[in-house]
Amino acid sequence: MADKIKLSVAFLLVVAGIVGFYYLHESAAVLRIVSVLLGLLLAAAVVWTSEPGKRFFGFAKDSVAEAKRVVWPTRKETLQTTGVVVLFAVIMALFLWAVDASLLLVVNKLMGRVE
């Protein structure tokens, strides 16, 4: 029950930040943005103290650690792969154009339209 209350308070803090953004419509843009950011930061702090929030932040931390273990391709590998994909797309486009043009000729012949 306490976690539900914490999540509700966090939601209300986000809403308060957004309401502040619109309430300060005549103020400087910086103040309006600070209002939203403050609401989001306070909401994140409240969510962090709840059990679902702790699980979420733990999951996010594990996800970042997992992303660091990924072996990303080098620039050369990326350019080579991109080149192969573009070349394949161009070849397929030409092939499909040739098939379409051939079928158009066949249909025109069958219908008696000679151009």
Residue 102: is its pLDDT beyond 70? yes
What pLDDT shows up at residue 113?
A: 84
Alpha carbon 53 to its chain centroid, in Å, reads 22
Number of Cα atoms under 13 Å in the Cβ half of residue 26: 0
What pLDDT shows up at residue 115?
A: 62
Largest CA distance in the chain: 81
For residues 43 and 16, the answer to whether their CB atoms sit within 8 Å is: no
What pLDDT shows up at residue 1?
A: 83
**Model confidence at 86, in pLDDT bands (50, 70, 90)?**
very high
What pLDDT shows up at residue 97?
A: 98
Write the pLDDT tens digit of every residue in 15-72. Answer: 999 999 999 888 898 999 999 999 999 999 999 898 988 999 999 999 999 999 999 8
Number of CB atoms found within 10 A of residue 88's CB: 10
